[in-house]
Amino acid sequence: MTFRGRVRYHKEAMPENASASSANAYPKPSVTVDIVLFTFTEEALRVLLIQRRREPFAGHWALPGGFVDENEPLEAAAARELYEETGVQGIYLEQLYTFGDPGRDPRGWVITVAYFGIISADQARQVRAGDDAGHAAWFNVYNLPPLAFDHERIIRYALQRLRYKLEYTGLGFLLLPESFTLSQLQAVYEIVLQEKLDKRNFRKKILSMNILEETGRLRYGDHRPAKLYRFTARAIELEKARRRFP
Q: Given the DSSP bridges, would you call strands 110-118 and 133-140 parallel, antiparallel or unpaired?
A: unpaired
Q: Which residue has the higher pLDDT, 126 or 11?
A: 126
SS3 state at 106: coil
pLDDT score at 5: 39
pLDDT score at 24: 80
% of the chain surpassing 70 pLDDT: 88
SS3 state at 97: strand
Q: Is the pLDDT of residue 69 over 50?
A: yes
Contact 11, 71 (CB under 8 A): no
pLDDT score at 123: 87
Q: Is the pLDDT of residue 20 over 60?
A: no
pLDDT score at 242: 66
Q: CATH 1.10.10.10: which residues of the chain?
A: 167-244
pLDDT in tens, 74-93: 999 999 999 999 999 998 89
Give the pTM: 0.85
If residue 51 lies in a helix (H) or strand (E), which one and from where to where?
strand 44-52
pLDDT score at 198: 97
For residue 114, count other CB atoms closer than 10 A to its CB: 27
Domain 28-147, architecture per CATH = Alpha-Beta Complex (3.90)
Question: Which of 103, 233, 124 is closest to 178 using CA atoms?
Answer: 233
- Find out if CATH 1.10.10.10 is the number for domain 167-244: yes
DSSP code for 180? B
Average pLDDT, integer, range 213-241: 86
Q: What is the mean pLDDT of the chain?
A: 87
Q: Is the pLDDT of residue 3 over 50?
A: no
pLDDT score at 167: 79
Average pLDDT, integer, range 187-206: 94
Average pLDDT, integer, range 138-142: 97
Distances (CA, A) of 244 to 95, 96, 233, 241: 11, 14, 16, 5
Q: Is the pLDDT of residue 34 over 80?
A: yes
Distances (CA, A) of 68 to 27, 63, 75, 187, 238: 17, 15, 10, 39, 32
| Interatomic CA distance for residues 127 and 41, integer angstroms | 14
Q: CATH 3.90.79.10: which residues of the chain?
A: 28-147
Q: Which residues contact 77 (CB under 8 A, 6 or more apart)?
A: 33, 66, 68, 69
Residue type, 121: A
